[in-house]
Amino acid sequence: MVIYLVFPFESIEDFNLRLSPEHEIFRKSVREFAEKKIGPRALEIDEKDEIPRDLLEEMAQQGYFGIGIPETYGGQGEDHTSVVILTEEISRISPALTVVLGTNELFAVPIILFGSEEQRKRYLPPIARGEKFGAFAVTEPCCGSDVAGIQTRAEKKGDKWVINGRKAFISNADLADYILVLARTSPPPDRRSRHMGLTFFIVEKDTPGFKLDQKYEKMGLRGSHIYELSLENVIVPDENRVGAEDLGFLIAMETFDRTRIGVAAQALGIAQRLFEEAMSYVHKRQAFGYPLAFFQAVQFSLVEILAKLMASRYLTYLAAKLADEGRREFTFVASLAKFFASEMAEEIASRVINLHGGVGVIRETGIERFLRDIKIIQIYEGTNDIQRLVAYRQLIRILREKNLIPEEVARLVV
């Protein structure tokens, strides 16, 4: 079996990254906003476990909730690179705030890709303006990464659907006005086809039978809340069905392929902030009569942090670039970016806390909260081990298409 030099790509030019001057102008404007408006309140958000509503309103005024939504529906345009820039810069200050951006994206992407024109016109403009918020309800108490195993059911009665079930770990369900709910609408034909028979529905929060139940207390991303939801005989019209009946699993996977780029950007923002904090601290802090930066071990640690930060940034921005170009390889790179960036961010957080010593574990310094945040980022929207599986299967598909691996072997390993 021959593997090309630039596999899984076909040309070394595929590794090019070309960001525009407009992207840099946008990045600077977001950083300025994040430093001035979010920075002074970041610790308050973490301590009170609450995002101030007026801060969300200021983000809406900046047009941030419209990034990634087509201009036709009131957004700023479908540019994954801009979503990454926005997410990285805000996550650098308050990762919890970027969860609001992420849950909006989880709601909007399926509508953009698979929704009806009526759904796009009704639900996307208020999301883009920041007047309404979205959530994405797939996970259940029984099933996390096993999306095909969900037990919530939707039964069709005339031109309506009756939904019954429970959802768990649903981010920003309390903030959301619209919730995209995945339910089983028909039994799978066999065990190998468990992913078939699932369908998405838009449920508006005031729909009778829909209820927020338990709020989970979590270790990180404080300010963004996660809830268990119950749906008891929730009735929605067929016009609230998103995409074709029984193809919900495909829609979920297509959605995650895109939104996990933003998750990698969250990790990237955390790593960038930690590197900046470490660089500043080791040149100020004295030990044994010298700045910490005088010691070779500290220098080595900082350079290793920078190398991993830059590698994470490249993978993340490459995934966004490929998605913007409509290249199928973006799904493979997005999985790499998600697990690599989040695992490197955890390692960087631990190293930076060690460099700070006792100061690093004091809540008031704002360092330790990033370690709490990154653990959650490694888990949601597909755990990191799931990302490894996704990336591997994408590799096998490419090998199979190029006839570089026998069909019978490909079937066995995936």
Q: What is the pLDDT of residues 245-296, one digit of tens each?
A: 999 999 999 999 999 999 999 999 999 999 999 999 999 999 999 999 999 9
Answer positive or negative: Cα dihedral of 233, 236, 237, 240. Answer: negative
Nearest alpha carbon to residue 91 among 267, 343, 259, 239: 267
Task: Give the chain's residues under pLDDT 70.
Answer: 1-5
Q: Are 133 and 177 in contact (CB under 8 A)?
A: yes
Nearest alpha carbon to residue 347 among 387, 306, 399: 306
Amino acid identity, position 120 = R
List C-alpha distances in Å: 337 to 170, 252, 265, 280, 306.
23, 19, 9, 27, 16
- Residue 354: how many other CB atoms lie within 10 Å: 12
Between CA 155 and CA 153 the distance in angstroms is: 7
Please, what are the domains in the chain? Answer: 12-133 (1.10.540.10), 135-246 (2.40.110.10), 250-413 (1.20.140.10)
Amino acid identity, position 266 = Q
Catalytic residue annotation:
381
Residue spans of alpha helices (H) in 34-174:
42-48, 53-61, 80-91, 95-114, 117-128
So what's the pLDDT on residue 3? 52
Between CA 337 and CA 387 the distance in angstroms is: 9
